[in-house]
Amino acid sequence: MNINATLIGQSIAFFIFIYMVKQYVWPPLIAAMEERQKRIEAGLLAAERGLSEQAEAEQRAQELISQSKDQAAEIIANASKQASNMVEEAKDVAVQAADKVKAQATAELEQDKARVRNELQEQVSGLVMQGVNAVLSKEVDSKTHKDMLAKLSQTL
Amino acid sequence: MSVETITSSEYIKHHLQNLTYGQVDGQWQFAHTAEQAASMGFWSLNVDSMFWSLVTGLIFYVVFRSAGKKATTGVPSGFQNFIEMVIEFIDFSVRDSFKHKNKLVAPMALTIFAWIFLMNAMDLIAVDWLPQIAAMSVEAMGGDPHSAFFKVVPSTDPNITFGMAISIFILIVYYSIKHKGLGGFFAEILFHPFGKWGLPANLLLEGVALISKPISLALRLFGNMYAGEIIFILIAIMYSVGIGFGVFGGLLQVGWALFHILIITLQAFIFMTLTIVYMDMAHDNEH
């Protein structure tokens, strides 16, 4: 255990090692660690932001859903109202058409009735005229009594 | 190689002797005896301490450098994770105790912690293995195995611990003068704490406080590791006593080694923390 030049050798080696560690070991390692720390920090921040964004989006989606539900209900209500309106209108139209048809039919019926009555009148008057002719064939000249005959057939 | 014939005290002495390279009678050579090593004076080198110190230092540097080269900002691999854990621990310690701006302190703290830890960890290799290999290779090369001294734990050599402590002392003085000025540095020693009329007392107190920093650093580490090493050596002697003692010694060695892991780490941590604190005090400019 003698103090000798080993002391100086160790001092020199010590300084050289300190220098080399300071130059080539410490900076890259600490830089990598700090860089990673920053990245982790950024990642955590991004995750947090993502979570809050997700919550926001969910809320927005909920709002949209309730909105569209309201809209749908409105549309359905409108549609049913419209449908009942249409039914009413159709009913009115149908009633009108039916009335029209009925009126027409009544008119036709009246016409037919008039026509049949005329025909009957003519036939009756014809028959009467025949009968009268048969009765009066000798005394009544159809030509001279034409006016009287016409008046008669008219009143029949 | 007649290891069986040596006495316990010879065994212990052999284990505590460094392999010293220096001048004997004007000739550069390895010391063959402890007396020869002592006679070499200051200009000699403890080759074994220096060698293992550099080997452990290089292991530390290469491992950390390779981690630094491969460092990614993505998901770290297990190895990088481990290195980053160490770096983070050092960085935390430095931020905690060092309040100033100096880019040297954190790398220095890392160097001190990892290097001293590895040097201390050499203690966990069974005390006889590496010296025995050294002795056998010396014998194979035709040398005398008894003079093949080989101490494998650099931090049990005061030269190593004082070498580091004195380097740190130089840095302390350098940064003190840099941040307080030459006047400020000496004013702190001369006029503190009793004002200028208590100058001799101030010089005594502050001088001792300053000098005690490197001495306590070096001696604390050296003392702890040296004591641990001696206990390992004493346990190893038990193996030669008999089979009962051998088994008991084996258990003791495992127990002491487990406990020593704590001491190794603790001493490295203390050395590092005190260095950081001393550097912080050197930067303080509040007196």
Nearest by CB to B84, which of A8, A17, A29?
A29
State the residue range of the domain holding B163: 48-146+154-283
Paired with B30 in beta bridges are: B21
Give dist(CA B76, CA A36) in Å, integer: 10
| Structure token pair of residue B178 | 């840099």
Chain A CB within 8 Å of residue B24 CB: no
- Prediction ipTM score: 0.88
Give dist(CA B265, CA A156) in Å, integer: 151
Q: What is the pLDDT of residues B32-81, one digit of tens each?
A: 888 888 888 888 888 889 999 999 999 999 999 999 888 888 888 888 88
Nearest by CB to B167, which of A11, A27, A39?
A11
A2 → chain B, closest CA residue: B38
- Report whether B185 contacts B176 (CB < 8 A): yes
* Strand bridging mode B20-24 / B27-30: antiparallel
Q: What is the pLDDT at residue B2? A: 44
Residue B267 clears pLDDT 70, i.e. is over it = yes
Give dist(CA B273, CA B108) in Å, integer: 11
Residue B3 clears pLDDT 60, i.e. is over it = no
Buried b (16+ CB within 10 A) or exposed e, A133-148: eeeeeeeeeeeeeeee
- The total of structural domains in chain B comes to 1
Give chain A's residues under pLDDT 70.
Answer: 1, 137-145, 156
B58 → chain A, closest CA residue: A17
- Report whether B149 contacts B19 (CB < 8 A): yes
Chain A CB within 8 Å of residue B214 CB: no
- Report whether B130 contacts A49 (CB < 8 A): no
A39 → chain B, closest CA residue: B73
CA distances from B116 to B46, B86, B154 (A): 18, 14, 9
User: Phi and psi for A90 in degrees, rounded to 5?
Assistant: -60, -40
- The residues of B carrying an active-site annotation are 216, 220, 224
Q: Which amino acid is at A156?
A: L
Q: What is the pLDDT at residue A139? A: 63
Q: Which amino acid is at A137?
A: S
Answer whether residue B68 is part of any domain: yes
Residue B1 clears pLDDT 50, i.e. is over it = no
Q: What is the pLDDT of residues B126-166, one digit of tens each?
A: 888 888 888 888 888 877 777 778 888 999 999 999 999 99
Answer whether residue B40 is part of any domain: no
| Structure token pair of residue A119 | 């025909």
Q: What is the pLDDT at residue B4? A: 52
- Position with higher pLDDT, B232 vs B36: B232
Answer whether residue B268 is part of any domain: yes
- Report whether B22 contacts B31 (CB < 8 A): yes
Cα distance from A63 to chain B (closest Cα, Å)? 41
Paired with B20 in beta bridges are: B46
| Cα dihedral B42, B46, B49, B54 sign | positive
* Strand bridging mode B20-24 / B45-46: antiparallel
Residues 129-158 of B with CB under 8 A from A: 154, 157-158
Contacts 24+ apart (CB under 8 A), B38-44: B38/A2, B40/A2, B40/A4, B41/A4, B42/A3, B42/A4, B42/A5, B43/A4, B43/A5, B44/A2, B44/A4, B44/A5, B44/B20
Contacts of B30 (CB under 8 A, 6+ apart): B19, B20, B21, B47, B147
Give dist(CA B175, CA B283) in Å, integer: 6
| Percentage above 90 pLDDT, chain B | 46
Give dist(CA B9, CA B237) in Å, integer: 10
Answer whether residue B32 is part of any domain: no
Chain A CB within 8 Å of residue B45 CB: yes
Answer whether residue B23 is part of any domain: no
Q: What is the mean pLDDT of residues B223-249?
A: 89
Cα distance from B81 to chain A (closest Cα, Å)? 10
- Report whether B93 contacts B272 (CB < 8 A): yes
